[in-house]
Amino acid sequence: MRTFNTGKIIFEYPSGWEVEKADILSNPDCIATLSKGQDNLINAVMFPTATNLDDYKIFMEDAISDDGGVIISSDFVQIAGMDAIKLQANMDTPEINFDIHTYVFIEKGDIYIFELRTLDVSGESERQFKNMIQTFRILK
pTM: 0.94
For 50-81, write each residue's pLDDT tens digit: 999 999 999 999 999 999 999 999 999 999 99
DSSP assignments along 3-47, one per residue: EEE-SSEEEEE-TTSEEEPP-TTT-TTEEEEEESTTSEEEEEEEE
Element housing 102 (H / E):
strand 97-107
Please state, rounded to an integer, the average pLDDT across all residues of the chain: 95
How do residues 7-42 score in pLDDT, each as one tens digit? 899 999 999 999 998 878 888 999 999 999 999 999
H-run or E-run covering 95: none
**Residue 94 in this model has a pLDDT that exceeds 90:** no
Mean pLDDT of 123-134: 97
Domains belonging to the chain, first-starting first, are: 2-138 (3.40.1000.10)
- Total residues belonging to the chain: 140
> Among residues 125, 133, 15, 127, which one has the least CA distance to residue 77?
133
